[in-house]
Structure 1
């Protein structure tokens, strides 16, 4: 399976060239190809989708319920993004999604203290909404 078009809406291109799409699940699915793998960052189990997906319990405006599981899942997202269309999504597509994308940037070699700015510059200026989400990114380490 091919990766995302780096110019497509919601796609963050990491320094390595890996592309990950972030989106809000409250909005309609974007036109174009579907993801091959998705991680849904929600407080409650999401509805099923027709592609492989994983639920990471992550309440709105908070942090992942299980930090070790979050590290493992985000490591898998980063690895799979090298050759697949991978998506991370929360309800609105900004706070939790932006935090996860910033963690992926750290995995990709962006210094942790620069990752939030990187995601705000290349994904959405309102990404990573809370001080504790920013602190989580600064402390994030590869699994």
Structure 2
């Protein structure tokens, strides 16, 4: 188990997850035990060389939705399980707001919050503009009801 990651927030179930933007420098302190990154192949090529810890990628265009929703849902559930087991985990996209916020809201639904509550919680605790688009808000609802298939 790694010490808590700098900047990690506590989800309603007590697990800790760091959400951030890849365009910003990595926070000081321990590196993640595992990370989930959200973006295009171009974003991946830009950042992959600096990511020296175990991680996965979800192909997720900026302002849109993951290209494979079911695979994304499995990855988000896996990230939550890792966090619950005590691993230091992070989720990040380029800016750390829309896609990252959407995943943070999905994680919040796994703690028992309803989708609207999860979005409000994420905006209060992660970023005030998190979950930027109407379709991202709808995807949080889809995740909470269909994301386990």
TM-score (structure 2 length as normaliser): 0.89
The aligned residue for residue 63 of structure 1 is 65
The aligned runs of 1:1-143 (5 Å cut-off) are 1-2=1-2, 4=4, 8-9=6-7, 11-44=8-41, 45-46=44-45, 47-48=48-49, 49-82=51-84, 83-141=86-144, 142-143=147-148
Measured after TM superposition, the shift of residue 3 of structure 1 is 5.2
What is the SS of the residue equivalent to 1:137? helix
Matched-pair contact (CA < 8 Å) for 2:2–2:33: no
Task: Output the CA distance in 2 between the equivalents of 1:13 and 1:93.
Answer: 17
Residues 44-76 of structure 1: per-residue CA shift (max 9 Å, x gap): 134141100001100100000001101100000
Task: Output the CA distance in 1 between the equivalents of 2:3 and 2:105.
Answer: 19
Task: Write out the 4+ residue segments of structure 1 that deviate beyond 3 Å after TM superposition.
Answer: none
Task: Output the CA distance in 2 between the equivalents of 1:3 and 1:130.
Answer: 34
Structure 1: state its 5+ residue gaps. Answer: none
Distance 1:84 1:53, change over 3 A: same
Task: Output the CA distance in 2 between the equivalents of 1:12 and 1:123.
Answer: 7
Residues 10-35 of structure 1: per-residue CA shift (max 9 Å, x gap): x2211110010000000100011111
Q: Which has the higher helix share?
A: 2
Task: Output the CA distance in 1 between the equivalents of 2:128 and 2:79.
Answer: 22
Matched-pair contact (CA < 8 Å) for 2:3–2:30: no
Structure 2: state its 5+ residue gaps. Answer: none
RMSD value, Cα: 1.3
Residues matched between the structures, number:
140
What is the SS of the residue equivalent to 2:92? strand
